[in-house]
């Protein structure tokens, strides 16, 4: 049975071999080599867009999370309204609204890159806020009491005592959000952002080989996300090692 399952994918691939046109991405030919480089040229904007958006969303998420920990019901209400409102908006709709609606509303000019960054960061900040809130609440209350006993202010307690421990605990969740951001960056292609998915769409229009081009696109995202996941795991091990030492 195991041999059958291993043999099945090769059978399916060989059965549809006549439908494959790998010449469009064959690096041994001039056209295939140029097509591959055209596809890879979108990698820069995918990475830059994702990392810029995740950094902004982490900062905004932390600022939104702190009111949710307050005893003031109005501050907690702000946190809850923000999180529920932003999470309810589909990210594609938010991208379109920021790019087409925000310039008219605020009378400003905004390019596709910053429209994508704003939309992705705004959408992700609600999730980051919940991650930070859960991470901070997981810290034992004795840590707060010990900080107050040595006259640390609230900001110093958060900066030097609570947040370092919370970040260590929520690092896997932050890594998941970065992977999520990399995947969701593909949606920015709808407003013309020249990232990986947009490049693939343009190549499909010129070569008429969607199967091969999108297969390469899948592999590009797969390799990129595997690399990022490995980096996050390395950082997690490094932080745990520093804690033990």
Q: Give the other-Cβ count within 10 Å of 33's Cβ.
A: 13
- For 175-217, the pLDDT digits (tens) are 999 999 999 999 999 999 999 999 999 999 998 889 999 999 9
Predicted confidence at residue 89, as pLDDT, reads 94
pLDDT(238) > 60: yes
pLDDT(10) > 50: no
Structural domain contains residue 21: no
Predicted confidence at residue 8, as pLDDT, reads 42
- For 27-65, the pLDDT digits (tens) are 889 998 999 999 999 999 999 999 999 999 999 999 999
> Between 97 and 153, where is the model more confident?
97
Predicted confidence at residue 62, as pLDDT, reads 94
Predicted confidence at residue 124, as pLDDT, reads 96
| Tally of structural domains, the chain | 1
| Of 37, 192, 13, 6, nearest in space to 114 by CA | 192
Structural domain contains residue 219: no
- For 118-150, the pLDDT digits (tens) are 999 999 999 999 999 999 999 888 888 788 888
Band of pLDDT at residue 19, cut at 50, 70 and 90: low
pLDDT(7) > 50: no
Percentages (nearest 5) of helix, strand, coil residues in the chain: 85, 0, 15
Predicted confidence at residue 23, as pLDDT, reads 84
Report the CATH number that the domain containing residue 70 is assigned in CATH.
1.10.3720.10
Helices (H), 185-209: 196-207
pLDDT(2) > 90: no
Q: Whole-angstrom Cα distance, residue 44 to residue 50?
A: 10
pLDDT(3) > 80: no
Structural domain contains residue 177: yes
Predicted confidence at residue 77, as pLDDT, reads 94
Q: Give the other-Cβ count within 10 Å of 205's Cβ.
A: 10
Domain hosting 144: range is 45-192
Specify whether the CB–CB gap between 139 and 114 falls below 8 A.
no
Structural domain contains residue 210: no
pLDDT(173) > 70: yes
Helix 73-87 vs helix 43-65: crossing angle, to nearest 10: 150
Specify whether the CB–CB gap between 138 and 177 falls below 8 A.
no
Q: Whole-angstrom Cα distance, residue 50 to residue 65?
A: 21
- Helix, strand or coil, per DSSP, at residue 16: coil
Structural domain contains residue 134: yes
- For 96-113, the pLDDT digits (tens) are 999 999 999 888 889 999
Structural domain contains residue 23: no
Structural domain contains residue 92: yes
């Amino acid at each position: 049975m195991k041999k059958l399952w291993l043999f099945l994918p090769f059978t399916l691939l060989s059965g549809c071999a006549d439908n494959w046109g790998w010449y469009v991405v064959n690096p041994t030919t001039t056209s295939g080599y140029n097509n591959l480089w055209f596809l890879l040229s979108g990698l820069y904007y995918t990475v830059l867009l994702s990392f810029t958006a995740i950094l902004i969303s982490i900062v905004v998420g932390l600022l939104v999370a702190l009111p949710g920990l307050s005893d003031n019901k109005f501050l907690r209400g702000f946190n809850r309204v923000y999180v529920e409102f932003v999470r309810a908006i589909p990210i594609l709709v938010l991208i379109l609204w920021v790019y087409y609606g925000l310039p008219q509303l605020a009378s400003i000019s905004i390019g596709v890159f910053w429209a994508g960054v704003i939309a992705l960061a705004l959408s992700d900040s609600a999730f980051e806020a919940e991650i930070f809130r859960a991470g901070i609440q997981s810290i034992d209350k004795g840590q707060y009491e010990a900080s107050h006993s040595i006259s640390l202010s609230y900001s110093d307690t958060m900066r030097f005592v609570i947040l370092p421990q919370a970040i260590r605990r929520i690092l896997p969740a932050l890594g998941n959000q970065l992977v999520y951001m990399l995947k969701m960056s593909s949606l920015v292609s709808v407003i013309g952002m020249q990232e990986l998915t947009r490049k693939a769409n343009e190549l499909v229009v010129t070569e008429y080989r969607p199967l091969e081009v999108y297969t390469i696109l899948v592999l590009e995202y797969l390799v990129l996300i595997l690399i990022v996941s490995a980096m996050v795991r390395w950082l997690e091990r490094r932080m745990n090692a520093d804690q033990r030492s």
